Homo-oligomer: A and B are copies of this chain.
Amino acid sequence: MNDRTAKSTAETPIRLLIVDDHPVVRDGLSSMFASAPGFEVVGEAADGAAALRLAKRLQPDVILMDLRMPGMDGLTAITELTRLGVTARVLVLTTYDNDTHVLPAIEAGATGYLLKDSPREDLLRGARAAARGEPVLSPSVAARLMNRVKTPAPQLLSQRELEVLELVAAGNTNREVAARLFITEATVKSHLLNIYAKLGVGDRAAAVAEAFNRRLLTPR
C-alpha cells in the first residue's frame, strides 16, 4: 500500500510476484531475479489464495505461478485473476514439460510457462517477454494450441447440410431456412434429420453443439 516511486533507473523494473508452495523454490527464484537487472521482486505467496490477495494489492507486472499447490491451486488462481481483470501477466512454472497441465493454464489466461529448472538466462528472458505481453511457449505447447484451432474438415456433412446447419445456428426457423435456400420446409427437415443421424444427436441445439465440437462450425 506504500507509495513507491522506482523510476531512478532509465527503465522501470519489472515487478514480480513469486507463487510457489516450496520455500526453497521461492527463495531461489527470488534471489535470482532480485540480483538480475531490470527486475524487482515485490512479493511471494505460498498458495493461490495468497497470490490473489497479493496480486490485487501489489499490482505486479508478472506473476511466476506454480500449478501444484495446497489449498487453491495455480489453475484456479489464474482463472480468478483473469475473472477479476488483474492485468499482471502470468508465467506458469512447471517441474516437467507436461503439456497436459499447461494447456488449461493457457486457456485460463496464462501468458506462457517456464520450466523451473530452466537456465537462469531462459528464466530472465521468459519473464521479460511475458512483461511485454509476448507468449512464452515451447514448440510442443504451441503445436497443441494450433491443433485446437485447426479445422480437420472431415467433410462429414454435405455442402447443403452444412448450409442448413449454419442457418439453423444463426437462429433461423425451418421455414426461414427454406425461404433462404429456395426449397420447401419439408426438405429442410429432411436435411436436419440426416444431420442428426450423422452427428449422433436428436435435435437442432445438440446438432449445433456437436458441430462446434467437431470443428464443422467455428466461432466467429
Contact = CB atoms under 8 A, between A and B. Distances in A.
Interface of A: 79, 82-83, 106-109, 111, 129, 133-135, 137, 139-140, 142-143, 145-146, 148-153, 155, 168-171, 173, 201-209, 212-213, 215, 217-220
B139 A143 contact: no
Contact of A107 (B83, B140, B149, B169): B149
Contact of A83 (B109, B155, B219): B155
A135 B143 contact: yes
A111 B217 CA distance: 21
16 contacts: A82-B152, A106-B150, A109-B150, A109-B151, A134-B140, A134-B142, A135-B139, A145-B149, A148-B149, A170-B209, A171-B201, A171-B203, A205-B205, A205-B208, A212-B212, A212-B217
Contacts of A145: 142, 145-146, 149
Nearest to A109: B150
A168 B79 contact: no
